[in-house]
Amino acid sequence: GAVVSQHPSWVICKSGTSVKIECRSLDFQATTMFWYRQFPKQSLMLMATSNEGSKATYEQGVEKDKFLINHASLTLSTLTVTSAHPEDSSFYICSARAGGPGELFFGEGSRLTVL
Amino acid sequence: GENVEQHPSTLSVQEGDSAVIKCTYSDSASNYFPWYKQELGKRPQLIIDIRSNVGEKKDQRIAVTLNKTAKHFSLHITETQPEDSAVYFCAASFTGTSYGKLTFGQGTILTVHP
């Protein structure tokens, strides 16, 4: 299957700093990528849809100025958590579809801990 | 938007027994229904999916059924093994647009006892 790689796999930062997470499609081009957030023992909640070359579409309740998404190429989308706070600590997972409707491929996930 | 409800939240079975997880969805336009298995701290892995033009699909010990009229679909795992223990998520999406974003159910923690 298609491969989606996410980096870093885990990061610890101080409150108030910004953290960037990268999501790459390694063997296919992804015009659309999705960013999910998962709290412990909970489901995956869609944060935003990342569109190559245009602005991301955010889900209701997700602050676009806090979670900056950039999809500058067909293989890379980035999520930047700005001015992170302890409540932003979570597992962030990106996903992409390898052309056409159907299976979503997920990255390994990035565990963010904000101290 | 789409809303997916999943039950039960936890399921405990003995090795060799069958396990059934059920989901309902709200948007009648949804036409793609995947099931994902997620082990602790890892990415979700697709185990089976079904599209709205079929009512049932089977892959070895795993099967999924879909009732479009009632807007519910189920995952069936037969002859369960301890390595089946994980969190299972159902999801639904409408693939008629280039986005096709997935909405996930709340998840079911399956524990298979040896």
Whether B40 and chain A come into contact, CB under 8 Å, resolves to no
Give tens-digit pLDDT for A19-73.
Answer: 999 999 998 888 889 999 999 889 999 999 988 888 899 999 999 999 999 988 8
CA distance A34 to A25: 12
Q: What is the pLDDT of residue B70?
A: 95
CA neighbor of B21 nearest in space, from B39, B3, B33, B32: B33
Q: Measured between CB atoms, which of A31, A57, A101 is closest to B32?
A: A101
Interface of A with B (CB under 8 A): 31-32, 34, 41-46, 49, 57, 91, 93, 95, 97, 101-104, 106-109, 111
B97 pLDDT band, cuts 50/70/90, is low
With tokens 């979700």, the residue in question is B44
Q: What is the pLDDT of residue B1?
A: 80
CA distance A105 to A58: 20
Average pLDDT, chain A: 92
Q: B107 and A43: CB-CB below 8 Å?
A: yes
The DSSP element (H or E) to which A44 belongs, if any, is: strand A44-51
CA distance A72 to A30: 11
Compute φ and ψ for B91, nearest 5 degrees: -155, 160
With tokens 């027994």, the residue in question is B17
Give tens-digit pLDDT for B60-94.
Answer: 999 999 999 999 999 999 999 999 999 999 999 88
% of chain A beyond a pLDDT of 90: 73
CA distance B55 to A20: 43
Mean pLDDT, rounded, for A78-92 = 96
A87 pLDDT band, cuts 50/70/90, is very high
Q: What is the pLDDT of residue A100?
A: 62
Are A4 and A16 in contact, with CB atoms under 8 Å apart?
no
